[in-house]
Amino acid sequence: MMKPLRIGLLGLGTVGAGTVRVLADNAPELEQRTGRALKVVRAAVRDPHKARDCDLHGVQIDADADALVRDPDVDVVVELMGGTERARELVCAALAAGKPVVTANKALIAECSDAVFAAARASGQAVAFEAAVAGGIPIIKVLREGLAGNRIDEVAGIINGTTNYILTRMSQDGVEFAPALAEAQAKGYAEADPTFDVEGIDAAHKLAILAALAFGVPMRTDWIRTIGLTQVSSADIRYAKELGYRVKHLAIARRGAAGIELRVEPTLVPKNSFVAKIDGVMNGVMLSGNAVGSTGLHGPGAGALATASSVVADLVDIALGRALATPLSADSASAVVPAEVETAFYLRMQVADRPGVMKEISTVLAGLEISIEAIVQREVEAEQDATVVLLTHSVRTGALERAVEALQSLPVVHGPIVRMRVEHLEQ
């Protein structure tokens, strides 16, 4: 029997307590799998006297995180405190002290990758972050190891449970964004300040991590076209449904001739596609590679125990001495984000309800060589207006921008034109 792996925890919130519970509940299995005990010996928390949802017998608890990361009796540091500045400082100190690090902190990995991975390279220690993306789904391991035989061409999925819950409620029950968000907050699926989730920042952090692993793109969230949910109305969701689509807050990274396309935005996907069927707080990610074709994973994207499942998987790899080294440095050849791409679009506009309107719209689109896949026109009750919804065939984004501008300037078009991308995913 090898000596125990002694774990130091930074933070004992939901995921921290979940990690302590999973390590305790599955101690026999973990010992059998690794040949050693996985033992939490120390934790640093803001308030050492606060009650925690786990058994902390035998664990030294205090507020001294700096001492923990340097403690010679701690073999590995698990960072579950969140935030970036202080977390970066402590993670880098732990690495400098020769300790591998496990973290669930997507903001830290996505925003401080240079500092964190430089420290990891300097120390020769691993930084493992399975729990940072898609909670309990082992997407990092599948991408880096399970599909290591592939050139990855596309990563697409639902990687934020909060926005997916809101869209699912809007789609299945016809509620609007604001009450659906309020409900998600009441259920604990959304924070009191929901900006990170609703504006797509959380999903962009995760997509930056996936894209870095898949394509060698530097982890830069500012390269990701990020659009939040606030513009999506239940009317758009209803029209999308009529046309055979679902609206999802899709994160997608795709290799194209011109470079790597990176986006998080409300997107129409065919109702029978894999991501269309990921409902509620679930996460689901599709990976395409040149050998495997296309494969998908789904499961819980959050939750104390599900996230702890990924934290503990990383600890098992470390206990076995087989955690992968830091991500490869950027492959500059593929680190190009194209300014323009080809994609299909959904457009919705309010128009004057009179003859000739359709012809005016069609003339604008035909002039820019944009062809139409489907069109729906509806009278708006108790108004003089009608609603026109249309799906374009694949078109260059620049041409679409010009078309929207031209349509917007038509006198028969009233109010702003709503637009969303349409993705015909492989599965």
Q: Which residues are catalytic?
A: 206
Q: Applying CB under 8 A, does 372 fall inside the site for a copy of itself? A: no
Q: Applying CB under 8 A, does 39 fall inside the site for a copy of itself? A: no
Q: 86 phi and psi, to 5 degrees? A: -70, -35
The conformational region for residue 216 under phi > 0 = left, psi -120 to 50 = alpha, else beta, is left
> CA-based diameter of the chain, in Å?
84
Per CB under 8 A, which region of 86-94, 154-162, 323-331, 400-408 contacts a copy of itself?
Answer: 323-331
Q: CB of 87: closest distance to a copy of itself in angstroms?
A: 22
Q: 74 phi and psi, to 5 degrees? A: -110, 125
Nearer residue to a copy of itself within complex by CB, 320 or 399: 320
- In which element (H, E) is residue 374 found? strand 372-379
Q: Applying CB under 8 A, does 306 fall inside the site for a copy of itself? A: yes
Q: What is the 3-state secondary structure (H, E, C) of 132-167?
A: HCCCCCCHHHHHHHHCCCCCEEEEEEECCHHHHHHH
Rounded alpha-carbon distances, angstroms, from residue 234 to 176, 230, 241, 247, 258: 6, 11, 10, 10, 35
Per CB under 8 A, which region of 252-260, 261-269, 299-307, 340-348 contacts a copy of itself?
Answer: 299-307
From residue 130 to residue 149, the character string flagging contacts with a copy of itself as x (rule: CB under 8 A) and all else as - is: x-----xxx--xx--xxxxx
Q: With contact defined as beta carbons under 8 Å apart, do 208 and 202 qualify?
A: no
Q: Which of 90, 167, 312, 407 is in the footprint of a copy of itself by CB under 8 A? A: 312
Q: Applying CB under 8 A, does 380 fall inside the site for a copy of itself? A: no
From residue 279 to residue 298, the character string flagging contacts with a copy of itself as x (rule: CB under 8 A) and all else as - is: ----------xxxxxxxxxx
Q: CB of 332: closest distance to a copy of itself in angstroms?
A: 13
* Rg of the chain on CA atoms, in Å: 24
What tokens appear for 327 in the block? 């991500």
Q: Applying CB under 8 A, does 308 fall inside the site for a copy of itself? A: yes
3-state class (DSSP) for residue 126: coil
3-state class (DSSP) for residue 246: strand
Q: Applying CB under 8 A, does 186 fall inside the site for a copy of itself? A: no
Q: Applying CB under 8 A, does 25 fall inside the site for a copy of itself? A: yes
Q: CB of 398: closest distance to a copy of itself in angstroms?
A: 32
Q: CB of 287: closest distance to a copy of itself in angstroms?
A: 9
Chain Cα centroid distance, residue 241: 24
3-state class (DSSP) for residue 242: helix
Nearer residue to a copy of itself within complex by CB, 246 or 348: 246
Nearer residue to a copy of itself within complex by CB, 313 or 351: 313
Q: Applying CB under 8 A, does 328 fall inside the site for a copy of itself? A: yes
Q: Applying CB under 8 A, does 30 fall inside the site for a copy of itself? A: yes
Q: Applying CB under 8 A, does 48 fall inside the site for a copy of itself? A: no
Nearer residue to a copy of itself within complex by CB, 94 or 102: 102
Rounded alpha-carbon distances, angstroms, from residue 389 to 302, 350, 393, 412: 35, 9, 14, 15
Q: How many residues bind a copy of itself (CB under 8 A)?
A: 52
Q: CB of 355: closest distance to a copy of itself in angstroms?
A: 44
Q: Applying CB under 8 A, does 309 fall inside the site for a copy of itself? A: yes
What tokens appear for 204 in the block? 């962009």
